[in-house]
Amino acid sequence: MMAGECIIEVEGLYTRYGNHVVHENINLGVHRGEVLALVGGSGSGKTALMRQMLGLEKPAQGKVRVFGLPLYGDRKKLQDMRNRCGVLFQKGALFSALSVYDNVALPMRELRALDEGMIRKLVMLKLKMVDIDIKHATKMPAELSGGMIKRIALARAMALDPELLFLDEPTAGLDPELSEAFVKLIQTMRQELTLTIVMATHDLDTLVALSDRIAVLAEQRIVALGTLPEVLKTNHSFVRNFFCGERGKRSLENHSNI
């Protein structure tokens, strides 16, 4: 695949749950190596769109291609595609019945291609990458702070060295300091690895710090798509309220490169 090529292509996508229309004719390309942020009000369908990009849900209409291959066909191909993706979703970030070690090892074990010795080495490497001391490896999720859970969930999402990473509200529930540390961690990972990231977030600081482009979902459509300065020029009420309220102005001022 060439640089700049779309790693995800969404074409004419419609989502309906019964009579409830969530998306109407969504068209979107995610470029290799970029961080694309999805923003929109609660219920605007950010998570649903990410689930469809992963083939976890089938749209009512439309096509999704990931790594150049259409989803919703061959199950084996879908699994191969998922093995190239990491996912950090809001709910169920970690399995509560599994230790830190087993949570991170799970995707490796599911591959059925690595022996336990190799898995051990890789788990330690992933924990180190997210700055978690191995002394925590035997702990259960209930014993961990919110910030640690996010980091370990990120280690699990990165378990198979994905090319494509999905982050659903990665900094939700973290205080500003932890949130900033988590953003820095993702920035470092991006510098060291070739990663494409699709991220849904309500948090303006996270959005401004991480995203290369932003897609704004409102009224079932994408009402703005582009870099932050481009999106800011859009005269849509959601964009105005989201970015130009007091909090929005503060976040933008903190990032003087905008």
Residues that bind ligand ATP (CB under 6 A): 17, 22, 40, 42-48, 200
Amino acid identity of residue 113, one-letter, is A
- Residues in the chain, overall count: 258
Rounded least distance, CB 239 to ligand ATP, Å? 16
* Residues pairing with 113 in the sheet: none
Q: Give the number of other Cβ atoms within 10 Å of residue 143's Cβ.
A: 11
Q: How far is the CB of 23 from ligand ATP (least distance, A)?
A: 9
Query: Given the complex with ligand ATP, which of 119 and 216 has the nearer CB atom?
Result: 216
Closer Cβ to ligand ATP, 17 or 95, answer by number: 17
The H-or-E segment that residue 177 falls in is: helix 176-192
- CB nearer to ligand ATP: give 59 or 162: 59
Residue 200: CB minimum distance to ligand ATP, A: 6
Contacts of 147 (CB under 8 A, 6+ apart): 174, 178, 181, 182
Give min distance, CB of 44 to ligand ATP, in A. Answer: 4
Q: Among residues 38 and 108, whose Cβ is nearest to ligand ATP?
A: 38
Instruction: State the nearest-atom distance from the C-beta of 172 to ligand ATP, in Å.
Output: 9
Nearer to ligand ATP (CB atom), residue 24 or residue 102:
24
Question: Which residues are within 8 A (CB) of 209 and not within 5 positions of it... i.e. 6 or more apart?
Answer: 183, 187, 255
> Based on CB atoms, which residue is closest to ligand ATP, 42 or 256?
42
Closest CA to 40 of 175, 237, 182, 209: 237
In the bound state with ligand ATP, the residue whose beta carbon lies nearer, of 43 and 173, is 43
Residue 225 DSSP label:
E
- Minimum Å gap between C-beta 53 and ligand ATP is 12
Min. distance of Cβ 203 from ligand ATP in angstroms?
11
Q: What are phi and psi of 53, to 5 degrees?
A: -65, -25
Angle (nearest 5°) at CA 5 between 8 and 36: 50
Amino acid identity at 147: G
Q: How far apart are CA 29 and CA 36, in angstroms?
A: 9
